[in-house]
Amino acid sequence: DNEDVIEDLRDMSSTPYLLSAHYNASHNIGSDTTDVGDESPLLTGFPADFAHNPAVPVLPLDEETLHDLRRTVSDYGSRALRTIGMAYRDFEDFDEAYLAQLESDVEWRDSAGLVCLGIFAIEDPLRDGVTDAVRKCQNAGIVVRMVTGDNMLTARAIATQCGIFTPGMGGMVLEGPKFRKLTPEQMEFIIPRLQVLARSSPEDKRMLVEWLRAHGEVVSVTGDGTNDGPALKAANVGFSMGIAGTEVAKEASSIVVMDDNFKSIVRACMWGRTVNDAVKKFLQFQLTVNVTAVLIAFVSSVADPEERSVFTAIQLLWINLIMDTFAALALSTDPPTMNLLDRYPEKQGSPLITFTMWKHIIGQSIFQVVVCFLTLYAADDIFNLHT
């Protein structure tokens, strides 16, 4: 009944909307948007048995009506509404074997006798924080692209709402059938500017991922369906959805997002940069201490007449034990901050120890060695300790 259908719609979206088709006495078709609320009717204007009601005859689908239907689809698609057409067909005889052959929508569409009942539009509103998460990704140097099976108008509207599509900055929208026909030269020009790929197939998504990886990009893919498996496997990092994701998608992915929220991917990026920075801080600290200790032990043993180092073996072990343990705890427990997303990512294959880190390591090592040698060999003269 209507209440069960309304409950199913609430499970699909927090605020669903339906486009209700209206039939009046003159058989004209209009359209309206009905909010499915607690007391709202599911469909307004339909007779109780409108599909077979003699008062509502089946009219031929002429060019004018077809134009109105297409205009309705375009109108609702431009408002980020997913449009669904409803049609039925009468069979004189119930031939189960014949009906089993009509598996694809193409066969049903091409078959004669389909009667259009109307067009529905369902709104799937953006989650709270998605637009802000996309903006943070863009500030962090991460290019967010939308690959969807929706039509171009719907995909463009949704991408514009969440900040993915920016036509003023040279962004492009392309459909899957045209994407497949691009030549390598055209891909070199279009894909770097491509922000939305509409009416795409799983193969289109995989092709896009492989092209980006072949051109040196680090690619992350999100997906929840079985068809997303090839793209998730082809990416550097695949994110599958823990709630709505299929087992195939989870097996093909590297990380499972437990709450199905795009903001969690931003947090994962932030934590990844935190760990990378912690490793670099620890390496810089350890190399500075170890280079200093080795130089002092070597030079002091060479300069000593009895070839004894200023550090004994036990002292060197204690220095390494204390420095390694406490430095690792201090430098590896830094919490992530939003400032980490205000810089561009490092290039793939960039060295773990950068040129700036080498400058700090060498400079600090020289400073510490000089201070230690002055303390060992010139402290008596500097501080007049002979008296």
What is the tens place of the pLDDT at every residue in 234-285?
Answer: 999 999 999 989 999 999 999 999 998 888 999 999 999 999 998 898 888 8
CA–CA gap between residue 148 and residue 202 (Å, rounded): 9
- Is the pLDDT confidence value at 309 over 90? no
In tens, the pLDDT along 98-151 reads 666 665 555 566 556 778 888 888 887 888 888 999 999 999 999 999 999 888
CA–CA gap between residue 281 and residue 158 (Å, rounded): 41
The pair of structure tokens assigned to 185 is: 């030269």
Number of other CB atoms surrounding residue 2 within 10 Å: 11
CA distances from 182 to 148, 165, 178, 189, 190 (A): 18, 21, 7, 10, 9
pLDDT tier at 331, thresholds 50, 70, 90: confident
**1 versus 341: which is more confidently predicted?**
341
- Is the pLDDT confidence value at 13 over 50? no
pLDDT at residue number 110: 59
194-198 sheet: strands from edge to edge = 146-147, 194-198, 172-175
pLDDT at residue number 18: 34
- Is the pLDDT confidence value at 21 over 60? no
In tens, the pLDDT along 212-248 reads 999 999 999 999 888 899 999 999 999 999 998 999 9
pLDDT at residue number 34: 38
pLDDT at residue number 80: 81
CA distances from 261 to 37, 130, 257, 265, 326 (A): 26, 8, 7, 7, 36
pLDDT at residue number 366: 94
Q: Which of 42-51, 57-66, 227-236, 324-333 shows the lowest per-residue confidence on average (mean pLDDT)?
A: 42-51
CA–CA gap between residue 286 and residue 291 (Å, rounded): 8
Q: What letter represents residue 188's amino acid? A: E
- Is the pLDDT confidence value at 159 over 80? yes
For range 36-61, the mean pLDDT: 55
The neighbouring-strand residues paired with 106 are none
For range 328-333, the mean pLDDT: 78
Helix axes 130-139, 262-303, angle to 10 degrees: 30
- Is the pLDDT confidence value at 29 over 50? no
Residue 177: which H helix or E strand, with range? helix 176-180
Percent of the residues in the chain that have a pLDDT greater than 90, as a whole number: 33
CA–CA gap between residue 200 and residue 225 (Å, rounded): 14
pLDDT tier at 1, thresholds 50, 70, 90: very low
Please, what is the average pLDDT of the chain? 80
pLDDT at residue number 180: 92
pLDDT at residue number 54: 60
For range 327-347, the mean pLDDT: 85
